[in-house]
Each structure stands twice: as structure tokens, then as C-alpha cells.
A and B are shown apart, each in its own frame.
Chain A
Amino acid sequence: MAKKRFNIFFGIILALFMVIFSRLFYLQMMEGGKYSGISDSKRIRTVDINTLRGTIYDRNGAVLAVDKHSFDLTVSYKKLSSAYACLQNNIFPTLSKKKSNTLSSSLCKECHPHNQVWVNRIADLLKIPCPDIFKQAIETVEKVETIKSNVEKRNKRTVHILEETVPHAIFSNLEWRNIARLKVEIPQIQGVEIDVTPMRWYPKNDFAPHIIGYVGKLDKKELSEYNFKKQWFDTLSKKNESEREYFAQKALTADSLVGKNGIEKVFNSNLMGIPGERFEEITLDTLQVNKIILERPPVPGNSLFLTIDSKIQGIAEKVLGKRRGSIVVMDPWNGEVLAMATAPRFGLNTFRDDFTKISKNPDNPFLNRPIQSALPPGSVFKVVTAIAALEENCVNEETNFTCNGSLRLGNTRFRCFSQYGHGLLNLEEAIQFSCNVCFFEIAKKLGGKLLSKWAHEFGFGTVTGIELPYEKKGNMPKSSSLYEVMNLSIGQGAMLVTPLQITKMMAMVANGGWYIKPHIIKKITDDQDTILLDNDLVLNERLHISEKTLDYVRRSLRKVVTDGTAKEVGFGELGVAGKTGTAETARKRDNHAWFSGYAPFDNPKYCFTITVEHTTGHGADAAGSLALKLLAELLYGNG
């Protein structure tokens, strides 16, 4: 019985092998001619189809960044390399010195007239001088040859590489008039084609460049360090597994454009999309396409809607003018950043042309000031000190302070803003007139620990977590010496904060102590307009702070504008509440002017922070006047 079963067992195996054998016979012997024909003279090549990068909109749907078409002239590699060979031997012998022995001169004579034909025609049609075309050809060929020799060195044998079979773009972004002319001629020039590639275009050029960011090719370091494929394609969870697996293998090439800064960088994986692919059968001699075998259409990237309001951003940038500084406008109720203006700026479409000029500018236009410029906050920080003091019961509404214009501690004299002193005042008036001496007294009672505890509660010393790259977290020193604590209480010393952190703090005062997370992404939609992410935040966690304290502080902030340091600005009917700040730098008459607040004071709609760096003015006149212009336009259309 066992023997019989073994016979059946092995019989089945043998029969299956026979099937395989006959299939092999059929494929290789009967149909061999057919397939070997395909393999020899015809070849299936894969051509990548570019996908469109997602569009970036503002909250109302105004386009901030979009892909537009650029027309490229592509020439088959064979044509380029024969042109290269010709070049070395007779046409422009001076242009190239390398490897003149690779191709014999007899071959060159053959192809010489042929090459002249296509180069001349293109030169005629596109109005590009002949030498330029040859120069491009040389560059391309030498690049491919280097890749090839590297591959060969690695494999220790001769190989053919993909770059030898595909057409190469030699001129990009051609004018459409020339394209039309060329398109008519193309069937007569073999191996020359017009390719449409997407090009990133920023319609408003220098509008919010730091937020939007820009794209570029991967640099060498990124290419070697990152496992880009994985990172990019992990996020495509909505695509099915097989497609992801397949594309992970050919995700990013050295030529693909990725976001380098701003939203383009942070949301690169959302914006990138999936390139399509076309398998086409070509004849090797002529490189003409016989037929298209498979085509997988590209999937465009997702669209991003920012919380930025173009109108407000425009006003903010106009108000800021050429002053070095920043303006942040935020919705205090949900943390949506409505505007984040920086000056000086750079043009997103043009900055590559005058890159050196911009990068040498001492004002550093590439700095995204609202989140990257950490400055001492000056008197604006007194709001935090006051809240801390009230909440920790160091002072109450009735506590009186006397200001003589200075306070002596040990050998050091701490000066007040007014050199004659403010006289007798309570906390409300101390905030109003920004009296340093009062806050020195408070700091003495409060101590460093409690002060830094409250500073951390308001988010100082940590990044706000806005969806922008390279955010600074500033510096919130853990102070112990009384000397230092006194400096910190008025926002001086080693403390550094970003304008966005101050805005966040002010928004929390304005909205009644609810934690907010500043954010800039409103929603993400895919190409079918399905909403992938909707950033509708709700306030759910509140700071442990009494309503009484907040009311008191808010009343004081309103008085700053009506009677206090910002009275001279003349906000008048605009219901603004806020706090001025003048942070001293080491140099004399060189201050950072701050003005941070919210409006309208009874029902806050906007929360804003204005900084002007290195100005001779003070918080009220340098920053406050900008606030007046900004709010006049925001609240009443124009002022």
C-alpha cells in the first residue's frame, strides 16, 4: 500500500513538472521567435508620468502655490551622444577635451550631416544659438556617462543603463509660440519631442514666502541620509497596499522636487502625489513608440487650505512695510493663524536668481521672524508676571507700590521707565504705565520658581507646535538669583520669546484662559475633493486661573490703551486692549518694540502681536502705530 501511494505521490509531482516542461518548450522553442523579437529590436520601456503637486490655498480659496506647465524640449539619448561624438572630432573641437577616442571619426562622418540637421532645425525654430544646444548635449551625455561608468565599476562588467534609452530634457520652460512652431515640425525630426513638466508657481511671489516655502531637488545629504521612499509613502495610507508597495520601489529619484521650507516642506508627503507610469514598446533603432502597453495615471497631490486670510496677510505686510519685524494675527478662540507677516521678505519665484544678494543681506530675509526670531519680550511679559502674582496671592488689587524711578539692590540700580518715578500706584496702574519698579517689588515677593512655572503654563520655553519647520523655542531660564528674577519679571535678561508665543499668551488672556494650539492648516483635501483632515479645534482644556484675575488683567490692558503707555497712539474708537513693550538691547537707542493685544476688547476677534526689531522708537510709537493702521483696516475696512 505504501509503495502504491508513493507512486501516486511522485506521479503527481512528475505530471506537474511535465506541464512546466511543455510550457517551457512552447515558450522557448515554438514562440521563441516571437518573444526574442520583442526582446531584441523592440523593447518595453517605462516612462514616468509627472504628477501635479498639490495646490496651496488660503482660507478663502485664493491660490498661494500651484503647479503650472512648463514645456521642455527632449531629445533622445542616441541623438545626443552622436552629437557629442561629432563635436569632439570636428565641429567645435575646443568645447570638449574629454574622451575623444571613444568613437571613431568614420562614424562621425556618417552622422555629421544628420546631426547638423536636427541641431540647426531646433536652433531655427527656437531661436537658440547652435553652440548652446551642443553645450546642453555635452552636459547631458557626460552626466550619463559618469553614471554609467560608476555602475560599471560597481558591477565590474559592461552594462546598459536606463538613462540610455530615455529622452533627456535639454531646454525647459520654453515659450509657447516657439513650441507651437516646433510642434508642427516634430514629426519630421525623429527623436525630438516636447514634454510637458509641471513647474511650481507662486502667483503672489513675495506674499507670505516663509509660510508657503519653496521646493527644490534633494541635496546629496538628504539623499544619503533619509529613507525617503519609506517616509514618503507611509503617509499614503488611503491608497491600497499593492500600489504603495509597488511605488515605494520607485518613489523618489534624484530629480524629484520636494519641499524645502515652510508648508511645502512640512506637508511634502501630502502635496507630492504619486507619479504615473507608462510602459511602451519601442523600436530600438529609431526609438519610436510602437504602442503603449500599460498606463497607470498619476495621482495628483492633496490640496492644502491654510488658515491664513490673504486679505489680512496683505494688510499686515503692507503695514509692516520695509521695517524689520513681524506681525502675527490670530483668532484667539481656536488658534487659527490669520496672518503671519515678516519683513524683509523674498520672492518665491525669483529668489534663486538673486540668492547671493538676499543671503548676504544683514537683515536676513530668509528668517521666518514670527517663529524663528527669539527676542527679549520686554514689558509685554509683565502680563504674565501680573497674573502669576495675582494667582499666587503675592499681591491683590489694593496693594500699593511706590516708584521713585529706581530700585537699589546691592550695588545695582534697577531703573524704571520714567526717571522721575511714577509715585504711588497699584497693580492696575503698574501695568498701565509699565512701571518697572512695581514689578521688581512683585518679583521679590514671587520668586523665580513661581514665575517660571507660570511662564511655562503660558507656553514660553517650548515650541508652540505650529506646522512650520525650524520653529525656535526661545529661552525661559530657570533663575535662582534675585537679580535675575527681577530682570525676568520685566521680560529682560536671558529670556527669549518668539512673537508667536506672545500671541498665544495674549490669546489665552483674551479667550478666558483656554489652552490653544496655534495652527496654520485649515483642511486637506485630495484630488476628488474628499476632506482628509479638517482642523476644527475645540477648546477643551483651561488654565487654572480665576476669572477675577483675568478680568483684572484685561481691564488693565484696556487701560493701557485708553490712559496708559499706548494712549498717545490714538486708538480712539477702536476697541483695542494690549500691552506695549520695549526690550532693550545692549546698544543704546536700539530697542525691540513690541505691541501685543486683542480687539475688540469686549469680544475679542483678533489677537495680534507686532514686533519691530532694532528700532530707535519705543513700543508705543514704533509698534503701536503699526497696530493702529492694522486694526483700522481690520475692523473698519480702512481707517
Chain B
Amino acid sequence: MFRIDILKKFDWITFSIISFFLLISFFFVWSAASEKFAYKQLIWIAIGLGLFFSLLFIDYFTIARYSYVFYSLLIICLVFVLLFGKTVYGAKRWIPLGPVSLQPSEFMKIALVLALSRYMMFKENVSTFRNLIIPITLTIFPMVLIIKQPDLGTSLIMLPIFFSIVFIAGIKLRYLFSIIILGLTSIPFLWYLILKDYQKSRVITFLWPDKVSKLGEGYHKVQSLIAVGSGGSLGSGWGNGTQSQLNFLPQGHTDFIFSVIAEEWGFFRSCIILALYILFLACCAGIALKTRDSYGRLMVTGFTAMFATQALVNIAMTMGLAPITGLTLPFISYGGSSLLSSFIALSLIFNVRLRTRVTLARDEFYE
């Protein structure tokens, strides 16, 4: 199955961008937290890279065959977490596995992309509005389970994944808009029925920071803004950020790692990181466009949307543009589960690129 010549198609540009991100991750986790965390992160990176390369040997069509299996397995995991998961600060997100704990919601994103692409790869499945009921259910079901954990950020990331896949799959635009309108009208129900108090308070803090200052949510935002702002054009230098080093900035090594980078590296170098993210996403989108089979194309699109949303929301959050959610910065934030899921997604994207193939007979994607 695996031929040496497909190595020629290995995307070295994307890979070097990712390597650069990983380097940054190591050093800024060190700066924001401590050496210990940095080495832990290094171990996760090593595991992630191993996973990345070993997944390359499996043809993504083999994976496609089991899309629904993965999806159902993860749904079971999520239910399991809700019932027996490890509670950390009031949230049940973790399955303890010996010395480490895994967060199934991180892997749910990937399973959702696989399942949605599997369903949408057939043209007739997107032609009528009725056909859309199944993908909508596929998306809503894990979302509800994850909101229950409660983890609003990871849950909401399912939406851009869904919309981008549906959009690229060629749905009629009026269907798309009617889904969006339906979704908007259901927001009041969500607010009163599903959201937990602290999630509401986070949204409120974002919208009206002064009103709820007593809750302390605004503190994260203020500190992060000061950190980013104090970076200036050149930054204070690695390991010298006053905000992050004095522990004014909470969670500097996980959710708020971009604040640390912005503070210590300044505007110009932070911009390089932004630019590299754009380049990385562009490469991914390019792979999707060039692929001639619709499953691969939809899958890569879904992952691109996933990475884009995570990066955008996370960075926007550090600059006070988005509410504080638990979304991590792909490949840079500290954390095993998010790193592993990012690597799996990356590996699948590369997989598609390595095995660009001729159109299948049933596929009527190109007109």
C-alpha cells in the first residue's frame, strides 16, 4: 500500500511551519510556566509526532471506511465521561488513563469531521434540505454532550466545522441561510435551558465587562490585555514579561500563551506567528482544493476550519475580542489531548496530500 514515491509529495513547507510552532511552544511554555512543563510538553510533542508519522502509513480511505465507527466510539466515550469522568473544578471532561487523563471532546472534533465528510461525499446527500437532517443531528448530538460537561468552547467549534463542510460540499445557499436563521432563533432557548451560570457569566463579561466585575471574570481579560499591550513593538524579551512572570496572568501556558508571546516578543514577531498560521491554513486549503476525491476534500476542509477557528478564537480571546473559552492555540498551547488531536488532524491532511487520487466513478463533484 505504502509506496516510497509518495514521499516526494510530502508537504515540506507545511511541516516546517508546524515544526516552528512546536519550537515556539516548547520555549514559551517554559517561559510562562516552568521548565518542568516544557519538558512534559516535549514528551507530548514526541508522542504526537510518532502518531503523526505512523498514521501516514494508513491510507485515509481505510480510515474513511470506519468513520462512523470512530464517531460512535467517541460518543460512547463522551457519555462515559458524563457518567464516570474525573471532575476537575466542577467540569467532567477527563477520562483517567493511568498517569494521564484524556479529554474525549478533543477527539470528538476529529470524529465529527470524519463522519460528516463520509456522509457528504455523495452528491445526492446534499441535494435536498431533508438530507441535511442527518448531518445536523450528527453535529448537534456531540455538541449537547460536550456542553453538558460543561465545555462551551469545544462544543461551539463543531459549528464552523459543520458549516464549512456543508458549504464546500455544495449545498444550496438558501439552505445554508435557513439553517443559520433557525440556529439564531434557537439562541434564547439555549441561553435559558443549556448554559450553566458560569458560561453565562463569561458571555456577559465579554459583552459588558463592567457589569459583572464582581465575578472576577473580567480579571483574566484585563490582565491579558495589559500583557499584550505592554509588549509594544519589540516585546520585553523571552522570559522577561512582567505580566506573565509575576503570575498576574493566569493559565499563561495553556489558554493565554499568545498573551505571553505577544508580551515577550512584541508586535513584529507576533505578526510572524499570525502570518504563519495564515500560511499554514492556506496550505491546507490548497491541499483540499487540489484533491480530486470528495471525501478527502471535505475532510481537509473540516480540519482547516477546525484549526482556523481554534487559532482565531484563542488569539481573539487574548486580545479581548472573544469571550474566554477553553479553546487552545493549535500546536502551541500546553496540553496533551489538544496536541494529540491536532497531530491526528494534521496527519490526515498530509495523508490526503500524499495520496491524491483519481476521481471515483460515483463522484459527481466536479461540474
Q: Which residues of A contact B (CB under 8 A)?
A: 1-3, 5-6, 8-10, 13-14, 16-17, 19-21, 23-25, 27-29, 31-36, 38-40, 43-44, 154-157, 159-160, 162, 165, 240-246, 248-249, 277, 279, 293-297
Of B7-15, B42-50, B127-135, B275-283, the stretch lying at the interface with chain A is B275-283
With A28-B262, A32-B233 given, name 16 new contacts (CB 8 A): A16-B312, A20-B321, A28-B229, A28-B232, A28-B266, A35-B228, A38-B230, A39-B227, A40-B230, A160-B246, A162-B246, A165-B246, A241-B197, A242-B198, A242-B215, A248-B89
Contacts A17-B274, A32-B232 known; A241 to B216 CB distance under 8 Å?
Answer: no
Determine which residue in A10, A23, A244, A295 has the highest number of CB atoms from chain B within 10 A of its CB, and name it: A10
| B34/A44 in contact, CB under 8 A | no
| B289/A39 in contact, CB under 8 A | no
What residue in chain B is nearest A164 (Cβ atoms)? B246
Residues of A within 8 A of B152 (CB): none
13 inter-chain pairs at a CB distance below 8 angstroms, sorted by A residue, are: A17-B312, A24-B262, A24-B271, A24-B274, A28-B229, A28-B267, A35-B229, A39-B230, A44-B222, A241-B90, A242-B201, A242-B202, A294-B214
Contacts A20-B315, A28-B231 known; A39 to B262 CB distance under 8 Å?
Answer: no
| A31/B274 in contact, CB under 8 A | no
Instruction: Give CA–CA (A537, B35) in the complex, Å.
Output: 56
Of B104-112, B136-144, B162-170, the stretch lying at the interface with chain A is B162-170
Q: B308 contacts which of A13, A21, A157 (Cβ < 8 Å)?
A: A13
Q: Is residue B124 contacting chain A, with contact meaning CB distance below 8 A?
A: no
| B228/A28 in contact, CB under 8 A | yes
Instruction: Give CA–CA (A13, B288) in the complex, Å.
Output: 15
Instruction: Give CA–CA (A3, B290) in the complex, Å.
Output: 10
What residue in chain A is nearest B241 (Cβ atoms)? A39
| A34/B196 in contact, CB under 8 A | no
Residues of A within 8 A of B227 (CB): 39
Q: A19 contacts which of B225, B226, B266, B321 (Cβ < 8 Å)?
A: B321
Residues of A within 8 A of B285 (CB): 6, 9-10
* Closest CB in chain A relative to B364 CB, distance in Å: 12
Residues of A within 8 A of B365 (CB): 2
Determine which residue in B89, B228, B271, B282 has the highest number of CB atoms from chain A within 10 A of its CB, and name it: B89
Residues of A within 8 A of B167 (CB): 5, 8-9
| A242/B197 in contact, CB under 8 A | yes
Q: Is residue B217 contacting chain A, with contact meaning CB distance below 8 A?
A: yes
What residue in chain A is nearest B202 (Cβ atoms)? A242
* Closest CB in chain B relative to A301 CB, distance in Å: 19
Contacts A2-B366, A296-B214 known; A28 to B242 CB distance under 8 Å?
Answer: no
| B198/A39 in contact, CB under 8 A | no
Instruction: Give CA–CA (A2, B308) in the complex, Å.
Output: 20
Q: B278 contacts which of A14, A39, A242, A279 (Cβ < 8 Å)?
A: A14
| A2/B229 in contact, CB under 8 A | no
Residues of A within 8 A of B201 (CB): 240, 242
Q: B226 contacts which of A39, A155, A162, A277 (Cβ < 8 Å)?
A: A39
| B247/A28 in contact, CB under 8 A | no
| A27/B242 in contact, CB under 8 A | no
| B230/A6 in contact, CB under 8 A | no
| B289/A3 in contact, CB under 8 A | yes
* Residues in B190-213 with C-beta less than 8 Å from chain A: 196-198, 201-202, 213
| A29/B315 in contact, CB under 8 A | no
Q: Is residue B41 contacting chain A, with contact meaning CB distance below 8 A?
A: no
Residues of B within 8 A of A10 (CB): 281-282, 285
Residues of B within 8 A of A243 (CB): 215-216
* Closest CB in chain B relative to A10 CB, distance in Å: 5
* Residues in B245-282 with C-beta less than 8 Å from chain A: 245-248, 250, 262-263, 266-267, 270-271, 274, 277-278, 281-282
Q: Which residues of B contact A (CB under 8 A)?
A: 34-36, 89-91, 164, 167-168, 170, 196-198, 201-202, 213-219, 222-223, 225-233, 239, 242-243, 245-248, 250, 262-263, 266-267, 270-271, 274, 277-278, 281-282, 285, 288-289, 297, 301, 304-305, 308, 312, 315-316, 319, 321, 365-367
Instruction: Give CA–CA (A156, B243) in the complex, Å.
Output: 19
* Interface secondary structure of B, over-half rule: helix
| B168/A6 in contact, CB under 8 A | yes
Instruction: Give CA–CA (A39, B34) in the complex, Å.
Output: 21
Q: B223 contacts which of A1, A9, A44 (Cβ < 8 Å)?
A: A44
The 10 closest A-B CB pairs, nearest first, are: A35-B229, A242-B198, A39-B230, A28-B267, A36-B230, A32-B232, A245-B89, A241-B198, A240-B197, A35-B230
| A36/B216 in contact, CB under 8 A | no
* Interface secondary structure of A, over-half rule: helix
Residues of A within 8 A of B213 (CB): 294
Residues of B within 8 A of A24 (CB): 228, 262, 267, 270-271, 274, 319
Residues of B within 8 A of A20 (CB): 274, 312, 315-316, 319, 321
* Closest CB in chain B relative to A241 CB, distance in Å: 5
* Closest CB in chain B relative to A581 CB, distance in Å: 51
| A294/B170 in contact, CB under 8 A | no
* Closest CB in chain B relative to A47 CB, distance in Å: 13
Residues of A within 8 A of B245 (CB): 159-160
| A5/B222 in contact, CB under 8 A | no
| B229/A245 in contact, CB under 8 A | no
Residues of B within 8 A of A159 (CB): 245
* Closest CB in chain A relative to B139 CB, distance in Å: 18
Instruction: Give CA–CA (A249, B250) in the complex, Å.
Output: 10
Contacts A17-B277, A21-B274 known; A27 to B164 CB distance under 8 Å?
Answer: no
| A5/B168 in contact, CB under 8 A | yes
Instruction: Give CA–CA (A174, B141) in the complex, Å.
Output: 63
Q: A2 contacts which of B170, B202, B223 (Cβ < 8 Å)?
A: B170
Contacts A17-B278, A159-B245, A160-B245 known; A293 to B229 CB distance under 8 Å?
Answer: no
Contacts A28-B232, A32-B232, A242-B198 known; A2 to B35 CB distance under 8 Å?
Answer: no
Residues of A within 8 A of B282 (CB): 10
Residues of A within 8 A of B217 (CB): 242
Residues of B within 8 A of A162 (CB): 246-247
Q: B267 contacts which of A25, A155, A240 (Cβ < 8 Å)?
A: A25
Instruction: Give CA–CA (A241, B198) in the complex, Å.
Output: 6
| B225/A6 in contact, CB under 8 A | no
Residues of A within 8 A of B225 (CB): 27, 35
Instruction: Give CA–CA (A44, B226) in the complex, Å.
Output: 10
Instruction: Give CA–CA (A553, B202) in the complex, Å.
Output: 67
* Closest CB in chain A relative to B269 CB, distance in Å: 11
| A36/B308 in contact, CB under 8 A | no
| A155/B34 in contact, CB under 8 A | yes
What residue in chain A is nearest B308 (Cβ atoms)? A13
Instruction: Give CA–CA (A165, B312) in the complex, Å.
Output: 35
* Closest CB in chain A relative to B25 CB, distance in Å: 18
| B274/A157 in contact, CB under 8 A | no
| B216/A277 in contact, CB under 8 A | yes
* Closest CB in chain A relative to B327 CB, distance in Å: 14
What residue in chain B is nearest A295 (Cβ atoms)? B214
| A2/B270 in contact, CB under 8 A | no
| B270/A244 in contact, CB under 8 A | no
Residues of A within 8 A of B250 (CB): 249
| B35/A155 in contact, CB under 8 A | yes
* Closest CB in chain B relative to A459 CB, distance in Å: 35
Instruction: Give CA–CA (A157, B321) in the complex, Å.
Output: 34
Residues of B within 8 A of A157 (CB): 239
What residue in chain B is nearest A3 (Cβ atoms)? B289
Instruction: Give CA–CA (A296, B212) in the complex, Å.
Output: 11
Residues of A within 8 A of B231 (CB): 28, 32, 36
Residues of B within 8 A of A295 (CB): 214
| B281/A13 in contact, CB under 8 A | yes
Residues of B within 8 A of A36 (CB): 229-232
* Closest CB in chain B relative to A317 CB, distance in Å: 45
Q: B289 contacts which of A6, A28, A245 (Cβ < 8 Å)?
A: A6
Residues of B within 8 A of A1 (CB): 170, 367
Q: A294 contacts which of B90, B216, B274 (Cβ < 8 Å)?
A: B216
* Closest CB in chain A relative to B30 CB, distance in Å: 9
Instruction: Give CA–CA (A43, B289) in the complex, Å.
Output: 50
* Closest CB in chain A relative to B123 CB, distance in Å: 12
